[in-house]
Chains A and B, each alone.
Chain A
């Protein structure tokens, strides 16, 4: 009997040894995977912005909305970077001086041309972007705010930050703000800014300061913003101070980093919907978006030729094409490459890319799903009518763009429609709700008494 029991036990033992689980290891949970992805790409929460001097912010706000900074006194910074259109203009290509209207309804003036590139939103420019402008001509790397090739247009030294440096340049651009030789301002007076030679940037900045300091309210605002200057009107007070005030206003009023994604970064697992989390996993994974849009700001730190259709007047060096960063001295490597845009609040800042070729986020992700195919089959009807004829979709141009296409974009991603929808959902999670309505930023009046763009 006992031997029988022993043999039975042996049989059980052998059976147990023969049995082995073959469980499959599934993917990590949505949150665990997404958080791993996020950390892998250097995406960390944004800390608090440094407080700005209220007097400086007040001066900057006045300057932002005052058309007096433009040669013809008809456009302000806010004309193309307006709160109603989330600090952009809603146009594919910006319309500068001479235009009429505001936002997507703005139209070219007689004899005027589109600005060659899209007016990027100013939201979150104060966070510390590595590069500003689509070609990154202003950078915070190195000892100055300039790329290789020397200071653009004689940018003065001593500017406190990259944002102040950026504010120095649009007033020099003839299409954007300065005007063409022979222009007259809105009162019929000769445009003295437009008469200055392009090579003499300092004279343009001096002339603008003369305009500003001729207005007592500006004298007062400058005095309160810069009390260290002993006497307002001294030569020491230059346009750099105006640029500094513009930067302070942007830092203070246009920093919007309380999006659901930001809350998720701050450990709120419930801040994102399931679709947004799926989209996040795609963004940081299969769709490869994060290979460019990475770091704390989800972009702004590099350049890429994303195969965007060429349209518009092009750059002065190679019209009608816009070679992007390659137009800067010593940057020929970056053929058709433009700054990788930071993505917070991207939902609000259509149209997209350096020339506004895509009116929706859906169109953007569709483009990235197969860039060569999308470029060759680009449909100009998605543009505003005035720009449709300016699309350079000929084979030679398209081949030129594809030849230097970023290596990460040369093959299709093969994302399904559902995955593309999830990607868009994720991009919409980058929106700070407080950025949806910025109308409170528009002042009732500006010191010059000129009409406030609204």
Chain B
């Protein structure tokens, strides 16, 4: 995978080896009246080992100097995912409107994720279920087009830290090796709303024309976390949410000799949850001694208020 070395800041090199399996089975059924149903069944298996080499500094008492020594960490990435995607669309009478819906379900087990240096990536093993339900309408009315859709994304995730050594709990019990020291249960309730309009304006004779587009996407992320600490016999809960707005715009100029397209967008509210400035803490030393794993965030959510602006310009020259 390109760029995987960026996940291990300070590393001297990453050797990867493993396998990836991606199987997809697709089905398309079309009916009279311009109705259609798409179905895709997906199985994805990813097994990768990454040998990450670091050069660590240490104090050498023999030479009484700070020297370097090499260290290699083997990171194992094992992920299994099943997915099913259904998509249906049909016209609404003869008014020019169309309607469609999508339904997606993904089941993923990730018994081990790499021990990334970037702290936003949880290392806990566990499994997740993610779903998507959406509906949308569109209309073409002469030179104008309009589209709108809304998607709801419920997601559940269960991760845990496992004891590396027998671990005594606050209640006086002993967790065996492999026993769960901390369990994190996330529940996401995300929503996505997108809407766009466009209109073509003739410039002289056809095919000369100008087309403008405007749109907006609103992505609301909302999650709840309940965490159970089996070592300290404690639990806690937290809730966070944020909204990302992405206005988009575009203009197309079409001439017989060329086509010039410009599109732009700005995403506001996009953050970097869990990046280096995030309030992830190792909240329980006993559990961490046992498992050495990063647990869920407990500090205030940190999302840097950044604006991502994108401009895209393209020129098409038809070849005759």
Contact = CB atoms under 8 A, between A and B. Distances in A.
Given A21-B268, A21-B305, A23-B305, A269 B218 contact: no
Contacts of B195: 9, 12
A30 B284 CA distance: 12
A277 B218 CA distance: 40
Q: Which of B139, B216, B247 has the most CB of A within 10 A?
A: B216
Interface string A21-51: 1111111111110000000001011111110
A274 interface: yes
B119 A29 contact: yes
B3 interface: no
A127 B269 contact: no
A271 B61 contact: no
B62 A50 contact: yes
A20 B268 contact: yes
- Interface residues of B toward A: which range? 35 or more
Given A19-B245, A29-B299, A9 B59 contact: no
A44 B129 CA distance: 43
B282 interface: yes
B281 A30 contact: yes
Given A29-B278, A127-B59, A270-B285, A20 B64 contact: no
A13 B146 contact: no
Nearest to B267: A16
Contacts of B280: 29, 32
Given A10-B214, A46-B58, A127-B61, A20 B285 contact: no
A108 to B, nearest CB: 37
Contacts of A28: 276-278
A24 B299 CA distance: 12
B20 interface: no
B69 interface: yes
A231 interface: no
A47 B292 contact: no
A171 interface: no
B72 to A, nearest CB: 13
A394 interface: no
A28 B118 CA distance: 12
A47 B218 contact: no
Contact of A25 (B218, B266, B289, B304): B304
B33 interface: no
A281 to B, nearest CB: 12
A29 B279 contact: yes
B207 interface: no
A46 B283 contact: no
Interface string B247-289: 1000000000000000000101101000011111111110111
Contacts of A268: 289, 292
Contact of B289 (A20, A140, A271): A271
Contacts of B59: 44-47, 127-128, 296-297
B113 interface: no
14 contacts: A5-B146, A16-B245, A19-B243, A20-B305, A26-B302, A29-B278, A29-B281, A29-B282, A44-B58, A45-B56, A45-B59, A47-B67, A50-B62, A296-B59
Given A19-B269, A47-B62, A274-B284, 11 more contacts: A2-B141, A5-B197, A9-B214, A23-B301, A25-B302, A28-B277, A47-B59, A127-B59, A128-B59, A140-B64, A270-B289
Interface of A: 2, 5-6, 9-10, 12-13, 16-17, 19-32, 42, 44-50, 126-128, 140, 251, 255, 268-274, 277, 296-297
